[in-house]
Structure 1
Amino acid sequence: MTGIDFHFNTPDKLGYACRLLRKAVGAHGARVVVVADAELLQALDLALWSFAPAEFIAHCRSDGDPAQLARSPVVLAERGDAELPHHQVLVNLGFDVPGGFERFERLIDVVSGDEADRQAGRRRWRHYADRGYAIRRHDFAESGRHV
């Protein structure tokens, strides 16, 4: 069963996602798919190019060349149920439950302090809990952690 982690009250969702990807890929060697709407994916794509000049995070879009997709540790996708090269970690930056999340070993759901994002996060939490998934919570307002 997919392990689910909720990271909520993140002050800067985009910056947090960059730090999370740096840690997942660099320290843990994870292969990650990030799901969000097209606008946020575009912003993340740009941020990953300039996030840390000495620490480029290799990534590509899910509609890219299949050979590049297979080699890339980070794939940016609008849908989790798309044809994807790996199913280790799924990071959800979107408002909806990502389709196909159950195919992944782990789901990390990131929620900012924005009220609309928090409400959507609560709906996703209920969706997972109603289906029997154990959810680990990581409240960054309480811990002060920033990955």
Structure 2
Amino acid sequence: MTRIDFHTNIPDKLAYACRLARKAYAARAKVVVLAENAAQAEELNASLWTVSDLDFIPHVLAGDPLAPQTPIVITFEESAELPHHEMLVNLTRRTPANFTQFARVFEIISTDEEDAAEGRKRYVAYKKQSYPLTHFVAGQS
């Protein structure tokens, strides 16, 4: 069953997604990042090139011929053909249609009240379906 981790109170979802991608890559995990739209996907693509002066985080947009060999794949289309199903990082305000294909889902919820309200709805929906949930609140120890 898919494990779902909620990370809430995140001030910058893109920067956070970059750090998660870097950590996953260091652990040799494969990740799909689901962006809200094409603009956010492009912004994330650009951000991954500059996340650190010392780190190279191999990534491509879904549909790229190198996607099957690349550990980080970015998409905004849920219907995209995805080569990896290990981890999904959800930056959207919706429940991904294909989340059950993944072993683990990270729901990234910002400090924005509308984003937080949508995140709470997803949490309740996942809980009603008995998915294993964890909750990490940024800024709290």
Deviation at 1:53, TM superposition (A): 2.2
Check 1:126–1:81 CA distance in 2 against 1; reply closer, same or farther (3 A cut). Answer: farther
Deviation at 1:35, TM superposition (A): 0.3
Structure 1 distance, partners of 2:63, 2:106, is: 22
Deviation at 1:141, TM superposition (A): 3.0
Unpaired runs of 5+ residues, structure 1, are none
Equivalenced residue count is 140
Aligned to 1:30: 29
Aligned to 2:44: 44
Using the size of structure 2 for normalisation, the TM-score is 0.94
Aligned to 2:135: 137
Aligned to 1:58: 58
Structure 1 distance, partners of 2:135, 2:77, is: 24
Higher mean displacement: 93-102 or 77-86: 77-86
Deviation at 1:81, TM superposition (A): 4.6
- Give % identity: 41
Structure 2 distance, partners of 1:86, 1:80, is: 13
Aligned to 1:118: 116
Structure 2 distance, partners of 1:133, 1:80, is: 20
Unpaired runs of 5+ residues, structure 2, are none
Could you tell me whether the CA contact under 8 Å between 2:63 and 2:80 is conserved in 1? no
Could you tell me whether the CA contact under 8 Å between 2:61 and 2:74 is conserved in 1? yes
Could you tell me whether the CA contact under 8 Å between 2:6 and 2:108 is conserved in 1? yes
Check 1:105–1:80 CA distance in 2 against 1; reply closer, same or farther (3 A cut). Answer: farther
Matches within 5 A, 1:64-83: 64-65=64-65, 68-83=66-81
Could you tell me whether the CA contact under 8 Å between 2:85 and 2:101 is conserved in 1? yes
Describe the superposition over 1:91-145 as per-residue Cα deviations: whole angstroms up to 9, x where unpaired: 00111001110010000111111111101111111221121112100011322xx
4+ residue runs of structure 1 moved beyond 6 angstroms?
Answer: none
Describe the superposition over 1:14-50 as per-residue Cα deviations: whole angstroms up to 9, x where unpaired: 1111111101111x11000000122211111110011
Using the size of structure 1 for normalisation, the TM-score is 0.90
**2:4 is equivalent to residue 4 of structure 1:** yes
